[in-house]
Amino acid sequence: MADQMARSSTTGGLDAYFKLSEHGTTVRTEVLGGLTTFLTMAYIIFVNPAILSEAGMPFGPVFVATCLAAFIGTLIMGVYANYPIAQAPGMGLNAFFAFTVVITYGFSWQDALACVFLSGVLFMILSVSPIREYVINAIPMTLKLAISAGIGFFLGIIALSNAGVIVDHPSTLVTAGNFLAPGVILALVGFALIAALNYRNVPGATIIGILVVALLGIPFGVMEYGGMVSMPPNPSETLFAFDFSRIGQGTFWIVVLSMLFVDLFDTAGTLVGVAHRGGLLDKDGRLPRMRKALLADSSATTIGALLGTSNTTSYVESAAGVAAGARTGLASVVTAACFLLALFFSPLAGSIPAYATAAALFYVAVVMARGLSEIDWDDLTEAAPAAAVAITMPLTYSIATGIGIGFITYVLVKAIAGRLSEVTPAVIGLAVVFAVMLAII
């Protein structure tokens, strides 16, 4: 009886803090959603160190920094902002760090970390002011819907690439992969399984699909059990490893501002897209507690730089957890705990193969694409910019670029059509900023 009362008290406390009942969810659903999000983005704890090692950074310490940055950033998002959105070092931003800043510009990785740190500080300053919230809320509903769908397509191309369904080609950029490869077959089977289980409203359908197809890979030799536990490497080599010796150079500040703008609008797109999928936007299409979410995201970048990794940002893969039912920050707390445990269970976490998570991501891509159905396709001044966002985001492999092209197109089409009065000054200003940013980057 006492144990039952204790459990009831704990559940009630979680309900009161995270407002589970208000969001129509339960502790069980949030846990499943948090686990689903982790499984779909766990690849980052291995991919991020591999990319940053191209810039000369030590793999082991970056692995630790990646896990800790994801743990702290996601925990802040869950506990402080109460959103089911996970954070980790961003794909694209880590490539910019390694291949542009270090390899092309000739910065040391310590110089680049200093840029990340300052971009995070500027990010936090914007986050505590009304400027950033005003900027994101200024996005027209048409572009918000297109961003949601574009993120879905972006996830789709990531999923198909990870599964080997599509591969690069020197003439056509992409082409079909080997459809007889076990990983490709299992990814497509997993996608069908997840879609069917979700149609049947099976609780935890997405995570069940991931685990089932992962296990099916064992007899095919495409999933290997990598062990259970290992101690994390010593992270001291990348802790506080800043070098501000280039701070007086113009190139240094171009890098800082580039990181800031890319992070800003990647985050904006992710927050809007994932929140729209979860029905978390208000009646005006705005994100409640926006400032808290933005501050959680910007502080994660600063903390990640202190630990020794590139910009930490909100992850589009959070949509997988939302699709599994997550609606509150409790799911993020679960995801954060998984990242912390990943420090010690990295061999086990790494056993989940890419084709299994690809199946889940491709399902999420389909679900998020439905945002396009709410666009007024009879009004080309609305439809054309929306289509531009949805198409360019995956094909440029950049959420920020897709958003930028959408803003620029939106203003130009409205102006040429004689309807510029429908565009707010903020949107015009953002279109100009994006045009400059795309020209520089």
d(CA 10, CA 248): 53
Angle, CA of 373, 376 and 377, to the nearest 5°: 85
How far does CA 394 lie from the centroid of its chain? 13
Task: State the pTM of this model.
Answer: 0.73
131-178 confidence digits (pLDDT tens): 766 766 677 888 878 887 887 888 888 889 888 999 988 888 889 999
**Radius of gyration of the chain from its Cα atoms, rounded to whole angstroms:** 21
Q: What is the pLDDT of residue 74?
A: 96
Report helix angle 59-79 to 44-53, nearest 10.
Answer: 130
d(CA 316, CA 88): 10
The residue-averaged pLDDT of 197-205 equals: 80
Task: Give the highest mean pLDDT range of 50-54, 116-120, 374-378.
Answer: 116-120
* pLDDT classification of 441: cutoffs 50, 70, 90: low
Kindly report which listed range (281-290, 300-309, 425-434) carries the lowest average pLDDT score. Answer: 281-290
Q: What is the pLDDT of residue 33?
A: 92
* pLDDT classification of 334: cutoffs 50, 70, 90: very high
Higher-pLDDT residue of 404, 12: 404
- Nearest residue to 322 (alpha-carbon basis) of 312, 335, 331, 334: 331
d(CA 274, CA 313): 13
Q: What is the DSSP string of 358-376?
A: HHHHHHHHHHHGGGGGGS-
**Taking all residues of the chain, what is their mean pLDDT, rounded to a whole number?**
86
Distances (CA, A) of 317 to 87, 127, 137, 254, 258: 9, 23, 22, 29, 23
The residue-averaged pLDDT of 385-395 equals: 91
* pLDDT classification of 205: cutoffs 50, 70, 90: confident
Q: Is the pLDDT of residue 1 over 50?
A: no
Q: What is the pLDDT of residue 2?
A: 45
- Nearest residue to 37 (alpha-carbon basis) of 399, 361, 348, 268: 361
Provide, for the chain, the percentages of residues in helix, strand and coil under a 3-state DSSP scheme, each rounded to the nearest 5: 70, 5, 30
